[in-house]
Structure 1
Amino acid sequence: MKKTTISNVSHFVGQEVKIGAWIANKRSSGKIQFLQLRDGTGFIQGVLVKNEVSEAIWEAASTLTQESSLYIIGTVREDSRAPSGYELTIQDVSILQIAQDYPITPKEHGTEFLMDHRHLWLRSSRQHAILRIRNEIIRATYAFFNDQGFIKIDPPILTGSSAEGTTDLFHTEYFDRDAYLSQSGQLYMEAAALAFGKVFSFGPTFRAEKSKTRRHLIEFWMIEPEMAFIEHEESLEIQEQYVSFIVQSVLERCQPELKALDRDLSKLEKVTAPFPRITYDEAIQLLKNKGFDDIEWGEDFGAPHETAIAESFDKPVFITHYPTQIKAFYMKPDPEREDVVLCADLIAPEGYGEIIGGSQRIDDLALLEQRYQEHQLTDPAYEWYLQLRKYGSVPHSGFGLGLERTVAWITGIEHVRETIPFPRLLNRLYP
């Protein structure tokens, strides 16, 4: 007898196997018990027929409750009606624990209740599907950048200052000085790119924004590539190739999960490079044509604006060349027009908003020093960042992709709180 997992039962059709599992649900029709089993790798139905097992086994199975744990011994058989294509004909059960009064039942529960029980809600088929897709996006991210010659560099989470201001940072004490939780690893990744050429990071970032929208988390994960000798247009090509790669990887490897979420696959199938590009100027005009008469040049876009722009395209769309005044100090001005910078935000379809922000970075020391003065960045903690332009400066570009927003878009779910195992929200630090 082979010990296996639900995800691997296809290799054992007609054979007897042993699986460790939990009861996701259960029903009975007199002489047959139907056990909905999960083991972390998938879900499968086990069928127990009374006249095919001993009385002791039948009675033991009758005591099983939702989330009870057990070992199942059964024969794998194909069943085209089953979601996984397979079922188990059960010969034996060995109970590990009978769960009592499991709080999340198959009935409807409110969001706050489910969030209070997030540690248990993770076991549901919907959350299982979402987080498996998240895992596939992470796997595909490593595959893409490793294949493209990038190396992974880990920037610090604790920083001595913020070159973009500290209003949205979490403050802590670092022995005898102030420190902050990182908003982004980008500045450190620039240093790494000038050492290794092409690098990427993947780690947690923190924003102390008092926001309650469906797009915002307090703690979230970012993928931040940085590339030496790469200019603006080249960076956009890498971004669209990367996003196309992760979407196609999910389509190829996560069909059961997408089906469980009722995701419209036709929308994802359109996500192939190249992506459309419009300038900020063109975006302003598009919005005015759609009735946003109050939007003026020089204003940043909010969620309604991004959604309206995305509705004009069936793929993610780049908005390029934002006004210098609303973008970060380190973004390189367009050589032909200094009031805009060589940057782009990638807006996802279907109202999911910005998933990537990126730019070509300033590589001229004098200009960066000027930007420091304009933004009143006098903190010596970032003197090292200026030195990157002093010793072998080169054209370089980078971008950051927010993992949770990307998961929300690809899975088609409404709120980012379901895209991370234990979300940190304005009013939530538990569990």
Structure 2
Amino acid sequence: MEIDELEGWRRSHYTVEITPEIDGKEVLVMGWVRDIRDLGGIRFIVLQDRLGKVQITVPESDVDEKTLSKSGSLHRQDCVAVRGIVRKMEKAPRGVEIIPKEIKILGIAKQPLPLDVTGKTPAEIDVRLDARVLDLRSDRGQAVFKIRHTVLEDTRSFLSRKGFLEINTPKIIASATEGGAALFPIVYFEREAFLAQSPQLYKEELIIDFEKVFEIGPAYRAEKSHTRRHITEFISIDIEEAFATAEDVMKVAEELMYHVCKTVREKCGEELRTLGHKVDLPQLPLKRLTYNEVIEELQKKDVKIEWGEDIPTVAFRTLGKIHPYFYFITNWPTRLKPFYIKPRDDDPEISEGFDLMWSWIEIASGGTRVHKKGVVIERLKEQGLHPESFKYHLQAFDYGMPPHAGWAIGLERLIMMLTGIKNIREVVLFPRDRFRLTP
């Protein structure tokens, strides 16, 4: 099949703009062949673009031979441009169709396709991810990433209105940000470097200059966990605020959750219907549970856990049944939190760290930070880290480090909550996990 050139053709309308009100108007639409039905004497082609779908009706008696021939050579997912006349038709989807005058085939989809975009024939997740570009053309894929776009757009707007300055920090670093072994080493000319686990140290340093900062960017964790909620490359939404405590930034987090939920409900109704999902507005302020209260609740449910232990997944699942929506867990044991989380003044074994939970899944983590250089050095040593590896970060504490607090939200987990998607890989365009490095 010969591929046509675009030449002077330009889209006049998106599919959603084809309505009965423009009956009789000549239009030029572009997109992909979603479906084809040949009923003998008449052919129906569903054309899809980024905003929706429209029916192209090809009656043998009303189109010229060239147009009829081209329509008959089309396959699902071919890229096409159609110039034709809008016709009001009650029986057609949305009560309107286009009778083509000319068709251009701009791109050919190799047959057979690796998966059915309509979803009538379900495909396994790995098959879908291997053919991700095609998979994303599905109604489900379109809905997820339109919601994701809305969340990112709204988050930037919300934080900017709150006075936060957007920053971009290095993703190639010389030493660990969070501590631990979950680092991806890379060759950086003659030296070893790492992919950043988070912008934590940089955002703490930058509040000396800008007071309130936020970043939305990639982060990397070389964790071997292979679950439906873990990936190795993800988008982290981070804030840091000078002259603030954990409670101050918890208020920012809960207001953001309310705002994002409200915006998705208002702007993404069609996408939510496609996904069969409902987003409830959280009641503010969000519930705050201390670590002690959580341990007591779990013990009452016969979960074997003692104070000071990290909470395992099975226990979180139990907790999620008790608290099915958003809530905070505060006052974590200091030893369970990173070195930069401040111990409480009245009880150093307890930290000013918190987690924001959605049911049983952690959405965010944050807290009041340590702002005294000597305490930071002590905390580094307590966690088996070498202060000399953090000399540039520690140097910032010599320039008037203010008390400060912040948090990081995992975008993908938030999108899972807002879309009802159960596998985190489905809310990432091209996910990376322990076993997937392509496409």
> What residue is the counterpart of 2:294 in the other structure?
283
TM-score norm. by structure 2 comes to 0.90
Change in 2 beyond 3 A, CA 1:79/1:303: farther
- The answer to whether residue 126 in structure 2 is matched with residue 112 in structure 1 is yes
> What residue is the counterpart of 2:5 in the other structure?
none
Q: Residue 27 of structure 1: CA displacement?
A: 1.8
Q: Residue 406 of structure 1: CA displacement?
A: 1.0
Counterpart Cα distance in 2 of 1:315 and 1:111:
27
> What residue is the counterpart of 1:57 in the other structure?
67
TM-score norm. by structure 1 comes to 0.91
2:150 to 136, 153, 156: 136
Change in 2 beyond 3 A, CA 1:339/1:12: farther
Query: 3-state DSSP class of the match of 2:408?
Result: strand
Change in 2 beyond 3 A, CA 1:303/1:7: farther
- The answer to whether residue 44 in structure 2 is matched with residue 34 in structure 1 is yes
Alpha-carbon contact 2:20-2:88 (below 8 Å) kept: no
Alpha-carbon contact 2:178-2:197 (below 8 Å) kept: no
Aligned length: 424
> What residue is the counterpart of 2:269 in the other structure?
255
Q: Residue 334 of structure 1: CA displacement?
A: 1.9
Amino acid at match of 1:421: L
Counterpart Cα distance in 1 of 2:81 and 2:321:
50
Counterpart Cα distance in 1 of 2:383 and 2:406:
21
Amino acid at match of 1:373: K
Identity of aligned residues (%): 33
Q: Residue 247 of structure 1: CA displacement?
A: 1.7
Change in 2 beyond 3 A, CA 1:225/1:8: farther
CA RMSD of superposed structures (Å): 2.3
- The answer to whether residue 383 in structure 2 is matched with residue 375 in structure 1 is yes
Amino acid at match of 1:130: V
1:316 to 326, 332, 335: 326
Higher mean C-alpha displacement, 223-232 vs 306-315: 306-315
Where does structure 2 lack aligned partners over 5 or more consecutive residues? 1-9
Change in 2 beyond 3 A, CA 1:171/1:97: closer
Query: 3-state DSSP class of the match of 1:278?
Result: strand
Q: Residue 95 of structure 1: CA displacement?
A: 2.3
Counterpart Cα distance in 1 of 2:366 and 2:178:
15
Following superposition of structure 1 onto structure 2, how do residues 19-418 of structure 1 map, counting pairs within 5 Å? Answer: 19-75=29-85, 85=94, 87-92=96-101, 93-101=103-111, 102-105=113-116, 106-263=120-277, 265=278, 268-292=279-303, 294-349=304-359, 351=360, 353-418=361-426
Alpha-carbon contact 2:11-2:30 (below 8 Å) kept: no
Q: Which digits, 9 at most, give the CA deviation of each residue in 1:270-302, with x for residues without a partner? A: 32432111111111111122231x111111123
Counterpart Cα distance in 1 of 2:123 and 2:212:
47
Counterpart Cα distance in 1 of 2:58 and 2:114:
26
Change in 2 beyond 3 A, CA 1:146/1:365: same
Counterpart Cα distance in 1 of 2:147 and 2:388:
42
Counterpart Cα distance in 2 of 1:203 and 1:363:
25
Q: Residue 363 of structure 1: CA displacement?
A: 1.4
Amino acid at match of 1:396: H
Counterpart Cα distance in 2 of 1:239 and 1:154:
20
Change in 2 beyond 3 A, CA 1:166/1:321: closer
Q: Residue 348 of structure 1: CA displacement?
A: 1.1
Change in 2 beyond 3 A, CA 1:123/1:307: same
Q: Which digits, 9 at most, give the CA deviation of each residue in 1:150-207, with x for residues without a partner? A: 1111111011111543511001222232211000001101111221011111111111
Change in 2 beyond 3 A, CA 1:363/1:9: farther
Counterpart Cα distance in 2 of 1:74 and 1:305:
60
Query: 3-state DSSP class of the match of 2:40?
Result: coil
> What residue is the counterpart of 2:429 in the other structure?
421
Counterpart Cα distance in 2 of 1:33 and 1:253:
35
Q: Residue 130 of structure 1: CA displacement?
A: 1.0
Counterpart Cα distance in 1 of 2:201 and 2:20:
48
Change in 2 beyond 3 A, CA 1:125/1:400: same
Counterpart Cα distance in 2 of 1:5 and 1:200:
36
Counterpart Cα distance in 2 of 1:273 and 1:76:
49
Query: 3-state DSSP class of the match of 2:323?
Result: coil
